[in-house]
Amino acid sequence: MLSKKQTLQIIEAMGNLFPYATCELIHKNAFELLIAVMLSAQTTDVSVNKITPSLFEKYPTPEAFVAAPVEDIMEQLKTIGLYRNKAKFIKGCCQMLLSEFGGQVPRSRKELESLPGVGRKTANVVLSVAFNEPAIAVDTHVERVTKRLGICPPNATVREVEEILMKQLPKEIWGIAHHRLIFFGRYQCTARNHDHDVCLQLLKENRPIKAK
């Protein structure tokens, strides 16, 4: 496995390749981000971004989601995967936001993970993006890329990948490292068959890549 120095060098190279790597889910506040990340499970950010503008126009607050029949919420989500379960989780999440947190998105991982439909990855994204707290969210891109590059062993669990990255990287760059790994996996080192040597060469050359 790579050393701390080698891991940091790779993350820095990814920063040169994708200097504007950031969260691609469209949102205006922590609440919208929370819902968008919940919707993104097993669904592309592009698909989520297609429905959230109209979704948040119709349901701009937790109160609005709670007041709506779950069938109406499902109707708004039907173009994305697992929309029935996601509608139920969102409604339950909003009910708990109102009953336990005064309608505000909590700022701790433990409280975030207490919300229906919110796991560690979602909590980490919200903490990092909405509240600028050090956190690394491990999605399929992060897991695949770190294993392919030798940062993490092939048999590492998602939690182990997160813990390895936290040990290998300075705390102050956890959030940006997460986005760089996602962009590298999403736009260069994809899950589709490709010449991985090209990916390694790009990391060595640090030439900026235009996201597709």
Condensed to tens digits (0 to 9), the pLDDT of residues 4-45 reads 999 999 999 999 999 999 999 999 999 999 999 999 998 999
Choice between 150 and 211, residue whose per-residue pLDDT is larger:
150
Alpha helices, DSSP H, located in the chain: 4-17, 30-39, 45-58, 62-67, 70-77, 83-101, 109-113, 120-125, 131, 140-148, 158-168, 174-187, 196-205
How far apart (Å, rounded) are the C-alpha atoms in residues 121 and 91?
19
Instruction: State how far the Cα of 156 lies from the Cα of 105, in Å rounded to an integer.
Output: 31
On whether the CB atoms of residues 19 and 176 are closer than 8 A, the answer is no
pLDDT tens profile 89-113: 999 999 999 999 999 999 999 999 9
Q: Helix (H, G, I), strand (E, B), or coil: what is residue 118? A: coil
Instruction: Name residue 15's amino acid.
Output: G
Question: How far is it, in rounded angstroms, from Cα 169 to Cα 174?
Answer: 7
User: Annotated catalytic, 147?
Assistant: no
Which of these is catalytic: 121, 167, 204, 210? Answer: 121
Token look-up 């919110």 returns 118
Q: pTM value?
A: 0.93
Catalytic residue among 4, 78, 110, 139, which? 139
User: Distance between CA 34 and CA 41 in Å, rounded?
Assistant: 12
Within 13 Å of residue 209, how many CA atoms lie on the same side as its CB?
23
Residue 31: the pLDDT is: 98
4 is catalytic: no
pLDDT tens for each residue of 45-94: 999 999 999 999 999 999 999 999 999 999 999 999 999 999 999 999 99
